[in-house]
Structure 1
Amino acid sequence: MSKFTELYGACGKAAGCLCFSAQTVPQSQPVVEMRDLTMQWGPRPVLDRVNLTLHAGERLAVVGPSGAGKSTVLRLLAGLQLPTGGELRLFNQPQTYLRLDQTDPPDVRLVFQNPALLASLTVEENVGFLLRERTQLSRQEIRGRVHACLEAVGLYDVAHLYAGELSGGMQKRVSFARALIDDPQRGDQSMPLLLYDEPTAGLDPVACTRIEDLIVKTTTVAQGCSVVVSHVRSTIERSAERVLMLYDGRFQWEGSVDAFRSTDNPYVVQFRTGSLRGPMQPAEH
């Protein structure tokens, strides 16, 4: 049974759509390690000597007010930026080059807050872009994989449409399907690092639930790990097991989702309630 069939059942008409290809890492070895990691912009650090360890199968939510540096965490993990201090290791490899400069980059998938679809391409062409550019698969094989991934995120009969013909919620799901596509030539043993920047922003409650469930299922079956940045409480509580509260350059609190619901930590309480009173103040511009 392929991972795709195991994850999505009979709807996976093109077996192997989710051929995650990341490095095989022992369960005990961290996928992500931050050691005294610092990211400095101007006089104050966005991240100030933070430490984090994330293992295979874990699902982490990074939360905090706007401007706290949550997206910076994702950009560092995605290899779009390098830390100005400390060390970042992915799959036990130190990250000293930007992702585009690496000859054998780790399998890190980023779902942007905005869908970032190519307007001149159809949905099918957007989702299958990686396979067309980097594999020798036939057009029919690519189409089958694309349609299976679209069905996995609840989209049917849209492959021929252009991005501008879709609602915002549908565009979001197309971008999610695009993140599921991988090069099958790289093998079926996988441990991807999946990054989600506000994956349910702007979606209705039903669409939110679909995406939240998809985050959990994909991470579990792929034996990878995920990092979600979100302000949506249902997304935090449904798609994550651990929560990090980021403010003033530091991880001010860390704990399980159950602890997140009940802790009296002042940062978490203020975030949960949306109160203007508390240690977190609006970012200065």
Structure 2
Amino acid sequence: MKSNFKEFLSFAGKAALVQTITYFIFGLLMSNLFGYARLFQQEIIRDFMRPIDSPTTFFGPFIQPIRGLLFAIGLWPIRKIILESKRGWLILWGFFMIFGILGTPAAAPSSLEGVIYSRLPLWYHLIGLPEMMLQTLTFSLILVWWEKRKSQPGQPLWESSFWADLLKAVMIACFAYMGYAVGSLLSAVIAKVSIDMETAASDWKTQMMFVVAFVFNVLLILILSRRWVARKITLWQVFLLFWLVDTLVPVVYQWIFTSPMPLSLAILIGFFPALVITAGMRMGYRQTPLAG
């Protein structure tokens, strides 16, 4: 029973992680590609959707781990059927397409019920399909691939190829963006500074700071994960190292390219991505068994 619960927690953690990352990436890409900010202001649409710069909309990515957990709960009873199938990802994606997008009981956008019963124009139902289809497809591919790695014969769970480790490191580092967001919001509250979301999103220097931090985090995850798997470093040491890196990188970057923030705020901001990455490494990697 305890083993099954741990297995479920591992599965739920992966589902939450993959859901959050794919949601963020495809939401960002499609919102810019199709101009969601402009579309959401059109007649009828603006009565249905909040503006893209609404504070409520900003918190959308933060609830994705909860959605991932709900997906894990729903998929857990049929998990073996999906994993034992040669094309399990297609089965999972089919569930999303049929029950989550096209055949929803509610009159949701892009669903058959939505086309019939809502006043939303047909083009709006169609324009949302690429994002939902690609995001759920990517979610299905990554989650099934990640879970199937555990059952690959002749390969211990903790071993993986470079590309598998790189993908895992990228996903964990992407997830750390949520930590940066939380830390930035808290620091703004403490400093009593209002954040202009639209300006921040269009400031390429600010965005590049997070890209640089992302690269450092990916490299450090690749290095430290192997040491943690081999029990050469503790989780506390992992956390402290990431806290140091995620504090220093923004400070040094701002010192070079913009204006440095107070060190106390940088320490606060760096705490949360370090916490997220440490938790991600704990869930994503399994240590070698102790000898004897």
TM-score scaled to structure 1, two decimals?
Answer: 0.24
Task: Give the number of the structure whose residues are more often helix, by fraction.
Answer: 2
Higher strand share: 1
**Highest Rg: 1 or 2?**
2
Greater relative contact order (CA < 8 Å, ≥ 6 in sequence):
1
TM-score computed with the length of structure 2 as normaliser: 0.24
